[in-house]
Structure 1
Amino acid sequence: MISIDRFLSDEQDPKAVEKVIGKLNDLLTTSEEILYLAVQKKPAVNLLPDSIAVTNKRIFYCEPGNLGLTMNFKDISLKNIKEVSFKEELFGSKFICVPQTGENIVTEFIPKTQARKLYQAANEQLEEYKETLRQQKLEEDKANAPAQPAPQPFADFGSIEAPAPVAEPEPIQIAEVVEEPEDETTLKLRKLKTLYDKHLITQEEYEAKKGAILDSL
């Protein structure tokens, strides 16, 4: 039987804790243990409070039924939880569990100290679970990775002779070309063509001036 003393450290309702722990004891799997237990504290009448228990494998929601004669249990495993959070309010805190799919699970009137410790315990287990998945993924990737070929030793080809020097080709003699100066008519025609290419004169003007220059020869 699990001792309830360690679940009364933050003013949890002893009767509620005793009832929940007695039921949860039969629901835990091999190597599963309760890490923290929070109990509702409603602002008016606090009869039949709900409880939330965090284990190293899941989160239990414990709701009394039939005027306290029965206890309804709902649980969500760590692999199905996206994140957890809490929100402090005037009367206690809301503890919020966000599943991978479906609507958020919200429990109100959790005492503020218990809500913080509940969040801490649940968040630590989620981080450990994610890290375990990450390590498993790394191991799988490592196992499935193709084997690297072993490095081949360098072959001994003996001494390698240096290649024979190649004779440089004789330099090619290029005759110097002396350009003759252009005459005045050629310069005028070249200048006229430049003006036409730059669209500074029309084709009619170009043809007329070109004819005049040639007629002057």
Structure 2
Amino acid sequence: MILIDRFLSDEQDPKAVEKVLGKLNDMLTSNEELIYLAVQKRPAVNLLPDCIAVSNKRIFYCEPANFGITMNFKDISWKSIKEISFKEEIFGSKFICVPQHGENIITEYIPKVQARKLYQAAYEQLEAYKEQVRQTEMEDKRAQQPAPAALFTPAETPVPENIPAEEPVEVYVPPVPVEEPEDETTLKLRKLKTLYDKQLITQAEYEAKKADILDTF
């Protein structure tokens, strides 16, 4: 069961969060976990806000329908996403998802704090998926590399009794270098530094997150 309190840390609408989480709880697959949930806040009337939820496997778009009686859900997996971004405006922010194919998915009026954290969560999951794909491709390339050719050994020929046989010459074959992937801690620190360099998180958030990562090392 999903606990609602952890998704109310940035002034999300409690009623909208409770309603969405009740539906999403039945939609999550095995080993899938919700990471962050943002709730739309229109400047005038905000009775039926849209919501965006990020899990470790996909992004959920949740839109009320039939005057709030029902809810429409659509999701897009990380492998189908090319990139994500957000743009701050006067009234909140636009959260933009660029799929591999098709039109961009744009959600307006996301509160600025929620938009930044939504982007951070989505960016980390998308980069983690891309890194997993890169590691898989590297392993496939190593598996497809041909084995080192065996050294040619000429057939033995009779040696006259009065002529001593020549000693065999050893040939040195250098080992094939294997590129070692970055460890998980280094990877997390590098991604965190990227967020800080892009001014998507404050220095305090950067230092706190960095300390959490190093504590788990």
- Relative to the length of structure 1, the TM-score reads 0.70
Deviations 1:135-174 (A, max 9, x none): 1111111111111135579x99538xxxxxxxxxxxxxxx
Deviations 1:94-142 (A, max 9, x none): 0000000110000000000000000010010110000000111111111
2:121 is matched with: 121
Percentage of identical aligned residues: 73
Deviations 1:76-97 (A, max 9, x none): 0100000000000000000000
Q: Secondary structure at the match of 1:38?
A: strand
Matched, 1:158 2:166: yes
Q: Provide the C-alpha distance between the structure 1 equivalents of 2:165 and 2:26, rounded to a whole number of angstroms.
A: 77
Name structure 2 gaps, 5 residues minimum: 157-163, 168-217
What does 1:19-168 correspond to in 2, within 5 Å? 19-150=19-150, 158=166
- Whichever residue aligns with residue 130 of structure 2, its letter is K
Q: Secondary structure at the match of 2:26?
A: coil
Compare CA radii of gyration and give the structure with the larger one.
1
**Once superposed, which parts of structure 1, at least 4 consecutive aligned residues long, lie more than 4 Å away?**
150-153
Q: Provide the C-alpha distance between the structure 2 equivalents of 1:152 and 1:69, rounded to a whole number of angstroms.
A: 78
Q: Provide the C-alpha distance between the structure 2 equivalents of 1:55 and 1:38, rounded to a whole number of angstroms.
A: 12
Q: Provide the C-alpha distance between the structure 1 equivalents of 2:165 and 2:118, rounded to a whole number of angstroms.
A: 72
**Measured at CA, do residues 157 and 110 of structure 1 come closer, stay the same or move farther in structure 2, by a change above 3 Å?**
farther
Q: Provide the C-alpha distance between the structure 2 equivalents of 1:62 and 1:157, rounded to a whole number of angstroms.
A: 83
Q: CA deviation at 1:55?
A: 0.5
What does 1:149-188 correspond to in 2, within 5 Å? 149-150=149-150, 158=166
Q: Secondary structure at the match of 2:138?
A: helix
Q: Provide the C-alpha distance between the structure 2 equivalents of 1:43 and 1:157, rounded to a whole number of angstroms.
A: 95
Q: Provide the C-alpha distance between the structure 1 equivalents of 2:79 and 2:53, rounded to a whole number of angstroms.
A: 16
Q: Provide the C-alpha distance between the structure 2 equivalents of 1:9 and 1:23, rounded to a whole number of angstroms.
A: 20
- Relative to the length of structure 2, the TM-score reads 0.70
Q: Secondary structure at the match of 1:102?
A: coil
- Whichever residue aligns with residue 143 of structure 2, its letter is A
- Whichever residue aligns with residue 72 of structure 1, its letter is N
Deviations 1:154-204 (A, max 9, x none): x99538xxxxxxxxxxxxxxxxxxxxxxxxxxxxxxxxxxxxxxxxxxxxx
Q: Provide the C-alpha distance between the structure 2 equivalents of 1:132 and 1:65, rounded to a whole number of angstroms.
A: 37
- Whichever residue aligns with residue 51 of structure 1, its letter is C
Between Structure 1 and Structure 2, how many residues are aligned? 159
- Whichever residue aligns with residue 148 of structure 2, its letter is Q
The Cα RMSD (Å) is: 1.9
